[in-house]
Amino acid sequence: MRIAEIDLLAQHTPESALASIVETMPALDGGIVGAELLAALGDRQAASVTLQNAAEREPFAPLAARLLTLAASHAGELHEQLALLDEALARSPGCADIRWQRARTRLGAGRFTDAVADLGQLEAAARGSGDRFVVCLRAGNMLLQARLPLDARTFFEKSLRYSPRSSDASTGLARAFFALGDGRRGVALLSRATLLSQKAHAPQPSALIELAKALAEYTEDFPAAIFHVRSVPFGVRETIAARALEGRWRHQLDDVVGASHAFSLAREAAAQLPLAVVAEESAWLLEAALFELDVRNDARSAKRYAELALQAASSDPRAQQVFRRAARAEQASARELAAPPPRAPTVATTDEEAIDGQVERTPTRTAAALDFEVPAAVPAERPPIEDQSEHAQPAIRSDLFDETEGEAVDEARIESLTDRVRANPSDQDAVHELCSLLERAERHLDLMALVSARLEESTDPAFRSDLLATRRRVLQRLVRTCRDEGRTGEAEMYEMVLAAEDM
């Protein structure tokens, strides 16, 4: 038996250890060691029977109760588990761990009233307000997880009576009210819990996000929700969700520039986290990609979000779908940019002999297609048509290709500088050059997002002064563009931002 126990603890093959037991006794008489070996081989029912046999031979009641509890954990059916737990509590009525397990099993079996009775007995058996607070808080969380919010509310209220300044109890009671449909009381309690946690220590990022979601869902107070998600620090896994939620709510407030900036911060946060974490939060990146595609019509930015999500979760079909859509949109935009303008229509005339001073004419191109002015009368000895084509058509196409090539070079440089700034946000030379290129390309929203992000993180007075001047120019151009296109509401929003900067 001792050798088999050593093999079990050393995690050697359970078959050989069980064989050594069977050589000396029946496997069902192997006690805890035999039960664990049988369970390791997949025979959980035999493991349960082995533990029951050991409990029958055990004279010490608390130890026998523990053996029956282990037997219940290996039993297959819920009614078998409950019968074994009832017997265990009959052997040791004061064992709180066994009662907790029976309450949990009763909840799983649908015997809610009996489970609540067990939890009430645990509260009554606890000594002092501190222990009762812990019992009520744990019971409330257990009942809330079992989707019994009314009973959970009762235990959370009791826990608050035992410890009125507990942020955990306030949070639990708030969740119970949310489950009961009383959103406003839930928001008030969740705000109180956040305030209490701020006094004791920094609030958890998950609690800030939960409060922000509640404010947005139940009160539609989007500014307050944005304030709370912006309190989530950079560098934690919740940063992606916090910045993406800010982008979603700013979009609902018609702040397209602010939404794009918030989504870009979510991408920067994701780029600094492990891929395993990014894979779990990839839905936020896909939401940002769809925002760039559907709202801002910026296929290049959308592709960056989708690329990062696909890099972290390569088998996600939704990430693959969004990436393909963004790539197709980017290719379509590139084709539109590189396509030459339509050629001017040609006018063909029949040859006419010069009669009475009229000039003989042959099929020729219109003046709009030529880079020189056609005289009223063409001399008889004019250059061949091939010579004219050398002067006219290639001149127009070379200008077009030069312009397209320059734009392509700028786009490639913008993409390179964007990656450089993302890797090192304090690179002021790269930021200045990127601002100049974005301004020349008239990508005002991207420039606004870049400048706003750098203003939040930079402390250099001269650098901030340059960024503020750039942002002011961009806002003024956005106001003019929105006015010209009839988007009065968006223009007024940019004017408000300008006025706030002047104050």
Among the residue ranges 90-99, 180-189, 249-258, 414-423, the one predicted with the least confidence is: 414-423
Asked if the model's pLDDT at residue 246 lies above 90, the reply is yes
pLDDT score recorded for residue 398: 41
CB 69 within 8 A of CB 84: yes
- Alpha-carbon gap, residue 188 to 77, rounded angstroms: 43
Task: Please return the burial class of 454, using the count of CB atoms within 10 Å of its CB with bins 0-12, 13-18 and 19+.
Answer: buried
Asked if the model's pLDDT at residue 242 lies above 90, the reply is yes
Name which residue leads in pLDDT, 472 or 381. Answer: 472
Model confidence at 71, in pLDDT bands (50, 70, 90)? confident
Is the sign of the CA dihedral 419, 422, 425, 431 positive or negative?
positive
Task: Tell me which residue of 456, 486, 21 sits closest to 268, measured CA to CA.
Answer: 456
- Read off the tokens for 368: 């709009």
Provide φ and ψ at 78, rounded to 5°: -65, -40
Average pLDDT, the chain: 79
Model confidence at 494, in pLDDT bands (50, 70, 90)? confident
- Read off the tokens for 356: 């009475």
- Alpha-carbon gap, residue 42 to 62, rounded angstroms: 28
Asked if the model's pLDDT at residue 407 lies above 80, the reply is no
Asked if the model's pLDDT at residue 229 lies above 80, the reply is yes
% the chain with pLDDT above 70 = 75
Stretch 30-43: mean pLDDT: 67
- Alpha-carbon gap, residue 300 to 450, rounded angstroms: 15
pLDDT score recorded for residue 344: 53
pLDDT score recorded for residue 210: 93
Model confidence at 353, in pLDDT bands (50, 70, 90)? very low
Among the residue ranges 85-89, 146-150, 321-325, 336-340, the one predicted with the least confidence is: 336-340
316-340 pLDDT, tens digit per residue, is 999 999 999 988 988 887 777 666 6
Stretch 7-22: mean pLDDT: 56
Task: Tell me which residue of 249, 315, 329, 253 sits closest to 287, measured CA to CA.
Answer: 249
pLDDT score recorded for residue 454: 80
pLDDT score recorded for residue 355: 42
Name which residue leads in pLDDT, 238 or 34. Answer: 238
Q: What is the Cβ-side half-sphere exposure of residue 137, based on CA atoms within 13 angstroms?
A: 19
pLDDT score recorded for residue 2: 54
Among the residue ranges 120-134, 302-316, 484-498, the one predicted with the least confidence is: 484-498
- Alpha-carbon gap, residue 98 to 81, rounded angstroms: 12
The three-point CA angle 462-464-467 to 5° equals 115
Provide φ and ψ at 340, rounded to 5°: -70, 155
pLDDT score recorded for residue 19: 55
pLDDT score recorded for residue 118: 93
% the chain with pLDDT above 90 = 33
- Alpha-carbon gap, residue 147 to 149, rounded angstroms: 6
Among the residue ranges 94-98, 159-163, 327-331, 455-459, the one predicted with the least confidence is: 455-459
Model confidence at 402, in pLDDT bands (50, 70, 90)? very low
Highest mean pLDDT among 1-10, 424-433, 488-497: 424-433
Stretch 241-258: mean pLDDT: 93
Asked if the model's pLDDT at residue 28 lies above 70, the reply is no
- Alpha-carbon gap, residue 474 to 466, rounded angstroms: 12
pLDDT score recorded for residue 228: 92
Name which residue leads in pLDDT, 170 or 21. Answer: 170
Residue-range domain boundaries for the chain: 414-502
pLDDT score recorded for residue 27: 55
Model confidence at 401, in pLDDT bands (50, 70, 90)? very low
pLDDT score recorded for residue 386: 44
Give the global pTM: 0.60
pLDDT score recorded for residue 104: 93
291-321 pLDDT, tens digit per residue, is 999 999 999 999 999 999 998 988 899 999 9
